[in-house]
Structure 1
Amino acid sequence: MARHGSPRTPVRSSRRLHRALLVAFVCLVLFGPVVAAAVHGASSNASPPRRTCIGIDLGTSYSAAGVWRDGGVEMIPNAIGSRITPSVVSFQESERLVGDSARAAMGDDPARTIYAVKRLIGKPFTDPTVQEDRKALSYAVVDGGNDRAAVRVSFGGRDHVYTPEQISAMVLREVKATAEAHLGHAIDEAVITVPAYFNDAQRKATINAGRIAGLNVGRVLNEPTAAAMAYGLDRRGDVAANERNIVVYDLGGGTFDVSVLTVDDGFFEVLATGGDTHLGGEDFDAFLMEHLAAGLRRSHRIDVHADATQLARLRVAAEAAKRRLSSSDKTTVDLSDIVGGSHEVTVTRPQFEALIQALVRKSLSNVQRALDDAKITPAMIDDVVMIGGSTRIPFVRRTISNFFGGKRLHTSINPDEAVAYGAAVQAAVRCGMSDELKGEAG
């Protein structure tokens, strides 16, 4: 039977093939246009590639950047893994250092290391505050032409003059480069923060610094607004917040700023600002430095003020001790490099608090003035946001909490990063990620 049936097998196979081809042809005719339209529709309705927008806190002492990614704000680390970068530029004979390496050069090369240039940006050279700053800064502040404040440094056998915008651009360019290296692609837009009291010239100068750095600056955002956004104070869950009164206490490295805000239906309004452009962590460092310098005069008859390099080294040692005292009851300061032999000094937290007590009380007088200007009492404040690295100091937190009747302070976000965090939230809004942001903080 198998032998008789085998000649007819090719015929049956051929008929099956023809039927399959006919069915396929009919399906193509009937349904091909529908499938093509569906594919075309899916393609045309696909969301365009999302832009990358970052938030940058261009700070007096440190800068930081954040980006909205994977449903939350991600702080961007720099080349050494730190999430804050010193706003410092140092000019060496053969290279220009920016960030951590520049800060490390401050002790040995103070005249060519530029820091705290935010104090000068957008200001005339003849501005009284600029003239006052000239006395304290270790580098030369000069008239850059047309009564514009500028800095002068010497390297390569000649003098070089840079505007504050150019120096700030060097810092921003470093932030941009590390951000793009971390993200793996270019940045489309940046939101850069500024103090609420910055005038139009200072804001324009900051935007110009960003452009020099190669950034598309979509917006400048007030720092206190950014800090409040970081804590989600413009929203309660998915609903815009009803009227609330907020104080943002910003004690950074070089300046103290206080802002009184109100938020209603998700919109912020700055009611009053205040502060002191010469009150900050650097002043705490200076008080501790003078304490240590007095001890050196007594024990070794050394006047560190007579040697700029020794003074810079003592300033670095004082800052490091201050930071340790925020988490320890006492610390040891090694001054061997200054005295030329083994020498250590112990500083306790109570000693440090006694040294800075007057400065912290001074900040409170600025807070009270801002509240008076806003016609608000401490009891009417709903939220107190603490930002700036110096708000880590336990004595500062206790003093502010007591001033507001023992109110619990907003301190859960790293105070060095809170402004950049809020700027990243605003940048995400600008990049069309509003839906992802709902209920993110609160």
Structure 2
Amino acid sequence: MSVVGFDFGNENCLVAVARQRGIDVVLNDESKRETPAIVCFGEKQRFIGTAGAASTMTNPKNSISQIKRLIGRPFSDPELQRDLKSLPYAVSEGPDGFPLIHARYLGEMRTFTPTQVLGMVLSNLKEIAEKNLNTAVVDCCIGIPVYFTDLQRRAVLDAATIAGLHPLRLFHETTATALAYGIYKTDLPESDQMNVAFVDVGHASMQVCIVGYKKGQLKVLAHAFDRSLGGRDFDEALFTHFAAKFKDEYKIDVYQNARACLRLRAACEKLKKVLSANPEAPLNIECLMEEKDVRGYIKRDEFEQISLPILDRVKKPLEKALHDAGLSVENVHTVEVIGSASRIPSVFKILTEFFGKEPRRTMNASECVSRGCALQCAILSPTFKVREFQVKFKDHGLYKL
């Protein structure tokens, strides 16, 4: 029996497997731990994962990404409508009121549902796990955001069925992180509860989870989230800034060219990462459009200034989680930050000021969800003996799917 955990993210996916000696995050064919969540449709074949990401720049209108934002959501959803504005591919409303993705594949225009595309992504992740384990993979645990609706959860289960997978459980990403954090701790208190706040600022959303630990168990005290607050919002702030600057300086409008938009967004994402470690950063793109090379420059202070509307929203989920847990800041013993956008200094500064203590990075920011899902799968599997560890919710006792 396979024991596998899948973390399908908005941008990247990870696969973790349980072995007798512990949990391993496995490598894909390119010897990378992270696999892009992209399906690129071509004239003769489709490219999934790393191969799909490599084809994105040359074939933007047929490269389907950010599928996690589309799955299980009605086309009329205001958040979905906002997301569609930044996507390079065409999406329309289907007869059932849900999104339909349009792409040119095998020489003709075709339509796909987000569930079908996610099924392709999960099939690719399944192949990665099977190559590593040298056995068929069927049983698994899949990480999902805590804010997913029942429709979205069912859509993920349908996508797993398309991929030939049987999820033993859909596991909240923050709960998976809490499990991966707590199960290895040998110094958990017998009677007094140790409260830990997990703050996950990912590519497209922010989730906060407050967990109480005792020996052999964790209790989820509260969840809070902002569905549309993540690293891509900071990318978009930089993108808007430079798009306006280049229109003024170079008389080019990147909004009129899908490939130019993709290239500028990719450059802005790299710029954001450079600014996380440096006080200033340059932006240079050769032949962005109309055969013009563009140059830009920005300081971290200026970046934080244009990001203020985004940074102002960071505190709300933190306040709600504390309120729902019935705790004060002093009752939180440790703060753990994960997620790609948690590396942004201004976000880290807000968390430090709010909790009155510096957040810790003891967990791998990218791998903890997949590890937690693999651990949960191992707990449910009869083939593995795992240390007794219960996962409880504040009001509902033991966690059930």
Normalising TM by the smaller chain, what interval? 0.7 to 0.9
Task: Give distance in 2, aligned partners of 1:97 and 1:72.
Answer: 32
Q: Pick the structure with more strand per residue.
A: 2
Match of 1:206 in 2: 156
The CA deviation string for residues 27-64 of structure 1, in whole angstroms up to 9 with x for no partner, is xxxxxxxxxxxxxxxxxxxxxxxx33011111122111
Change (3 A) 1:54 1:242: farther
**Candidates 105, 124, 129, aligned match of 1:155:** 105
Change (3 A) 1:436 1:266: closer
Task: Give distance in 1, aligned partners of 2:77 and 2:304.
Answer: 34
Q: Is contact 1:210-1:216 (8 Å) kept?
A: yes
Change (3 A) 1:392 1:433: farther
**Candidates 307, 315, 327, aligned match of 1:376:** 327
**Candidates 146, 151, 159, aligned match of 1:196:** 146
For the residue of structure 1 that corresponds to 2:287, the secondary structure is helix
Q: Is contact 2:203-2:230 (8 Å) kept?
A: yes
**Candidates 224, 229, 233, aligned match of 1:283:** 233
Q: CA deviation at 1:172?
A: 0.9
**Candidates 164, 175, 178, aligned match of 2:114:** 164
For the residue of structure 2 that corresponds to 1:335, the secondary structure is strand
* CA RMSD across the alignment: 2.6
Q: Is contact 1:253-1:280 (8 Å) kept?
A: yes
The CA deviation string for residues 289-334 of structure 1, in whole angstroms up to 9 with x for no partner, is 2222233234322222222221111001111222233334443322
Change (3 A) 1:125 1:220: same
For the residue of structure 1 that corresponds to 2:164, the secondary structure is coil
Q: Is contact 2:209-2:321 (8 Å) kept?
A: yes
Match of 1:96 in 2: 46
Task: Give distance in 2, aligned partners of 1:311 and 1:427.
Answer: 40
For the residue of structure 1 that corresponds to 2:312, the secondary structure is helix
Q: Is contact 1:60-1:118 (8 Å) kept?
A: yes
Match of 1:52 in 2: 2
Superposed, which structure 2 residues align to 1:107-186 within 5 Å? Answer: 107-186=57-136
Task: Give distance in 1, aligned partners of 2:10 and 2:254.
Answer: 26
Matched, 1:61 2:4: no
Q: CA deviation at 1:344?
A: 3.8
Superposed, which structure 2 residues align to 1:241-390 within 5 Å? Answer: 243-264=193-214, 266-338=216-288, 340=291, 342-390=293-341
Task: Give distance in 1, aligned partners of 2:71 and 2:360.
Answer: 30
Q: CA deviation at 1:229?
A: 1.3
**Candidates 354, 357, 364, aligned match of 1:406:** 357
Match of 2:175 in 1: 225
Task: Give distance in 2, aligned partners of 1:269 and 1:63.
Answer: 27
TM-score by structure 2 length?
A: 0.87
Matched, 1:72 2:19: no
The CA deviation string for residues 125-169 of structure 1, in whole angstroms up to 9 with x for no partner, is 333433343334332333333333332223344332222211111
Structure 2, gaps ≥5 residues long? 390-401
Q: Is contact 1:234-1:266 (8 Å) kept?
A: no
Match of 2:37 in 1: 87
Change (3 A) 1:145 1:243: farther
Q: Which moved more, 1:278-287 or 1:123-132?
A: 123-132
For the residue of structure 1 that corresponds to 2:314, the secondary structure is helix
Residue type of the alignment partner of 2:244: A
For the residue of structure 1 that corresponds to 2:349, the secondary structure is helix
For the residue of structure 1 that corresponds to 2:246, the secondary structure is helix
The CA deviation string for residues 374-425 of structure 1, in whole angstroms up to 9 with x for no partner, is 3332222233222211112233223212210024x24122211111111122
Q: Which moved more, 1:298-307 or 1:267-276?
A: 267-276
Change (3 A) 1:109 1:241: farther
Matched, 1:424 2:374: yes
Change (3 A) 1:405 1:238: closer
Residue type of the alignment partner of 2:325: A
Task: Give distance in 1, aligned partners of 2:184 and 2:324.
Answer: 22
Q: Pick the structure with more helix per residue.
A: 1
Q: How many residues are treated as equivalent by the alignment?
A: 388
Q: CA deviation at 1:188?
A: 4.2
Structure 1, gaps ≥5 residues long? 1-50
Task: Give distance in 1, aligned partners of 2:347 and 2:157.
Answer: 33
Q: Is contact 2:188-2:215 (8 Å) kept?
A: no
Q: Is contact 1:165-1:206 (8 Å) kept?
A: yes
Change (3 A) 1:220 1:115: same
Change (3 A) 1:343 1:196: closer
Change (3 A) 1:79 1:129: same
Residue type of the alignment partner of 1:176: K
Task: Give distance in 2, aligned partners of 1:132 and 1:319.
Answer: 19
Task: Give distance in 2, aligned partners of 1:150 and 1:273.
Answer: 31
Change (3 A) 1:131 1:177: same
Q: Which of these two proteins has the greater Rg computed from alpha carbons?
A: 1
